[in-house]
Chains A and B, each alone.
Chain A
């Protein structure tokens, strides 16, 4: 009985991965065949990009400030408080900026994609769209995926800048250190590989959180309860996948740039 259950669960998992792969492949390649829905791309860019700006700025400011607080206390023990700027900028740009932004945007947008598309599925709006001769993947999913990838890239840059600024404010106003020193350390020790790492990651996270959100939304069954369930699955899966892929990506990028660092 237990083996039977494990077998069924494994089969379901493999089937879900297969469905997701086919779904996301279709959604991504639809951009290269007409019709392409550019107005939807712009609308989604506005919703995802500008809509997420407040939470991204707030979380980045807060994280940068906390990092500066925590690190300066530890660095003071070694008489190295001068490197607080370097510490904050490298950690944020390489790692925390993309991951934090990815998870914040996943919480906001992956869930909204799953619930919006899920509601459309249970109220037969997706079927109606197909019945009217329009491909819902092409019209609803493809613009969301590309808008998220594009906007997460810029949101990450904003988050990096805000977190360094937050760290600077704490360094100057609370730790009473030299601001010029903080910002020059933050800037001077940055290398091209650090920036490349920080800008490559959001491209992957944007793809993950949007494709997972749309995938679970389009697979919704079972009415309003199903919509709730899809939303939870979308947020949990995309957040976990972002963290997991971050580990893999970091390993790959560190290996690639090992000669530069």
Chain B
């Protein structure tokens, strides 16, 4: 497999990675918008059941990478395999069917202002003309998962920032997606609300095992995700024993559009790359 020459590679993208075909695979992907490349020769993959955390400071192309995954943007060069299908040049009409299998949580939630929480969460089900009773039941289930059942009939403008993100997570989960994409889900939130959101992500990871790719510039969020597990008996997340990390949660790091790290937390903290060291400091 092609890898960037300047990149440290340790994790599931390495030749010894799992034999199961990846859910997402980037091969030498580059994209630019009227200027220098935003992403340059990026290659990585997301294996089934794996949670990948894409780290990097603001403006390095993390959100662009996420939008490339589900075809919201098209690469200038390279190949993107989603569920085994090449999507770099796939017509938009065909992409809609693939996107319906993905749940995506946008930076600010991106809830539809004119629709109630119920209709936001049920958006896909309504398009598929699912029975109203079935929709209500599934929306309540999804809202219960994010602990926001009371917001069923409210409109997004009456929700706080954290509640909007949680509703966005419920919307992403309602069709039990085969892949989850989180675009800075804790960006702009206070520490307590951020922890609530992260707990939901950990809960989703440990309860449903959906492969996911999370973009963040906050190292503390990434570490919390890696060092915690969801305890179904206690009903909340608990820290893993000292020195243990979630084996399915691994890291990617971008610097100026180039992927400079791909591996586990242990490998990340031992990295000799000066940018990684500076980011971790």
**What is A's interface to B at a CB cutoff of 8 Å?**
35, 119-120, 123-125, 127-135
Contact = CB atoms under 8 A, between A and B. Distances in A.
Contact of B96 (A120, A128, A134): A134
B99 A123 contact: no
B108 A123 contact: yes
A16 B106 CA distance: 29
Given A127-B67, A127-B72, A128-B104, A133 B124 contact: yes
B58 to A, nearest CB: 16
B96 A133 contact: yes
A132 B123 contact: yes
Interface string B62-91: 000001001010000000000000000000
Contacts of A133: 96-97, 99-100, 124, 127
Contacts of A134: 96, 123-124, 127
A32 B96 CA distance: 18
Which of A35, A131, A133 has its CB near the most chain B CB atoms (within 10 A)? Answer: A131
A132 B72 contact: no
Contacts of A124: 106-108, 110
Given A125-B112, A127-B72, A134-B96, 14 more contacts: A124-B108, A124-B110, A125-B113, A127-B67, A127-B110, A128-B112, A130-B72, A131-B72, A132-B99, A132-B104, A132-B127, A134-B124, A134-B127, A135-B92
Contacts of B219: none
A132 B171 CA distance: 9
Contacts of B72: 127, 130-131
Contacts of A35: 127
Which 7 residue pairs are nearest across A and B when measured between Cβ atoms? Answer: A133-B100, A128-B110, A124-B110, A131-B104, A133-B96, A133-B99, A124-B106
B124 A132 contact: yes
Which of A127, A128, A129, A130 has its CB near the most chain B CB atoms (within 10 A)? Answer: A128
A120 B113 CA distance: 9
Contacts of A130: 72, 96, 99
A128 B112 CA distance: 9
Contact of B106 (A119, A128, A135): A128
Contacts of B96: 130, 133-135
Contacts of B110: 123-125, 127-128
A237 B99 CA distance: 35
A123 B171 CA distance: 16
Contacts of B93: 135
B184 to A, nearest CB: 12
A63 B262 CA distance: 70
B148 interface: no
B249 to A, nearest CB: 23
23 contacts: A35-B127, A119-B113, A120-B112, A123-B108, A123-B113, A125-B112, A127-B106, A128-B104, A128-B110, A128-B112, A130-B72, A130-B96, A131-B70, A131-B106, A132-B99, A132-B100, A132-B123, A132-B124, A132-B127, A133-B96, A133-B124, A134-B96, A135-B96
A132 B72 CA distance: 11
